[in-house]
Amino acid sequence: MHLDHSHASDGPAALSADAVRPDGRRRALRIGLGGPVGSGKTATVAALCRALRDELSLAVVTNDIYTREDAAFLLREAVLPPERIMAVETGACPHTAIRDDISANLEAVEDLETVFAHEGVGPLDLVLVESGGDNLTATFSRGLVDAQLFVIDVAGGDDIPRKGGPGVTTADLLVVNKTDLAPYVGSDLQRMARDAKEQRAELPVVFQSLRSPAGVSEVAAWVRERHAAWTAA
Amino acid sequence: MSRATLLVLADGRFPAGGHAHSGGAEAAVAAGRVTGAADLAEFCRGRLHTSGLVAAALAAAAALGTDPLQLDEAADARTPSAALRTAARKLGRQMMRAARATWPSAELDALASARPRGAHQPVVLGLAARSAGLGPEDAAYVAAYESVSGPATAVVRLLSLDPFDATAVLARLAPDLDRVAADAAECARRVPEEGVDALPASSAPLLDIGAEAHAAWAVRLFAS
């Protein structure tokens, strides 16, 4: 018989993003990071891990399109121990795996939660789910994550906030990355901020450069707030 | 039975993880065995009459109420490739989640508890059909059709094959699909008397070998 045929002591697994795990404990907060290819999702995840790993028990699920590069990058950078990083394969459709058919991602998240719930280190506080690089329409299902941030970069064109699309307009946090490149690619940050405000009304926007001293700190602060609200709920 | 329910279960967009798997097509494309619509038709015909038939019979038996744990072992015995056993259990777990959300039943809950890491997908599919009020022929049809629709969709992405040609391939397979589903259901009906040995055990060695090689690739588009 297979080793994985062990009987669950606490009934069958959860179906969707139920806030309470089958063992009765409140599960970890799940935050999705989406955005176009090359905008800096993985670099932002790595920076968030470094900023938060001493205060929160966290894990990452990556969704590479056809490689394990993103997971490999996080491992190489040693931002988290390998047992806290899991890669999901998406069959050429990264948006399907985070929106239309979330089952593989849910299983990865639940497996991480279960492993840590049963080991001495204690349950997870936060799981970051990074989508494969996709287009401007890719958003996470509410069945998979509790909040999502959408990462674009100034070098991808300063008209992206104006163009809108579900990622830009509806993400809980819009991150405009690589602001240090703006002068070199002729991107107008004020225009981007104005357009983003118009598209998103009261939803927050962060402009960041991971090369600046402030780095990921504003986004990390937003994640901390989300986590505090999640545990207080 | 409700014909509309069958459509829901058979819909390629039913959220049970199938989109990430090519059913061996990615390995076959890379090996140069599938290069266009004609090869795809032969690939699908071969898969349908081997692993497709086995999957359809397992699904039909589960829909008839055969002990799913016994069927799960029968599926293991009929799947020599470790990579394909892993893929089948992964997909079974994903199918279980979708089935419990759409057609909840005590039988599905019991199997989910007994196999938290997933039972073989055709077994879960058959039990899902049973929970949805569908019969063994219905379950066999869904499993048989999935055995060819997955590779056809994957080849559209892998070769930029004309999607109309790929769909025409599936349409031409309809008589074969009818026959396989009928044979599968008939075998499943013999299980109460003859045991699970009444279920077919046809295999496609090249699919098994391809799956083992594919699982070791560092760069791939599909999970299997």
Instruction: Give residue limits of the domains in chain B.
Output: 21-86+133-215
The alpha helices in B11-135, defined as continuous H runs, are: 25-30, 37-47, 53-63, 68-77, 82-102, 106-114, 121-131
A39 annotated as belonging to a binding site for a ligand:
yes
Name residue A33's beta-bridge partners. Answer: A130, A149
Collect all residues of chain B within an 8 Å Cβ-Cβ radius of residue A96. 19
Where in chain A are the domains?
25-232
**In the prediction, which pLDDT does A94 show?**
86
Chain segment A70-85, per-residue pLDDT in tens = 888 898 888 999 999 9
Query: Model confidence over B190-203: pLDDT tens digits?
Result: 999 999 999 999 99
Q: What is the CATH number of domain A25-232?
A: 3.40.50.300
Please tell me what DSSP assigns to residue A7: P
Cross-strand pairs, A150: A34, A174
What is the ipTM for the molecules in this complex? 0.86
Q: Is the pLDDT of residue A8 over 50?
A: no
pLDDT at A1 over 60: no
Identify the weakest region by mean pLDDT among A136-140, B121-125, B166-170, B171-175: A136-140
- Alpha helices, DSSP H only, in A99-164? 103-118, 160-163
pLDDT band for position A32 (cuts 50, 70, 90): very high
**Mean pLDDT in residue range A24-46:** 93
Q: Which of B117, B154, B222 sits opposite A4 (nearest CB)?
A: B117
Closest CA to B120 of B75, B78, B161, B150: B75
Cα B223 from Cα B215, distance rounded (Å): 8
State the pLDDT at residue A5: 40
Contact A66 B114 (CB under 8 A): no
Q: Which residue has the higher pLDDT, B1 or A107?
A: A107
Candidate from A67, A90, A100 with C-beta closest to B219 = A67
- Look at residue B81 in the predicted model and tell me its pLDDT: 98
Which pLDDT score is estimated for A70? 83
The residue type of B24 is G
Question: Taking CB atoms and an 8 Å cutoff, what residues of chain B touch A66?
Answer: 219-221
pLDDT at B58: 98
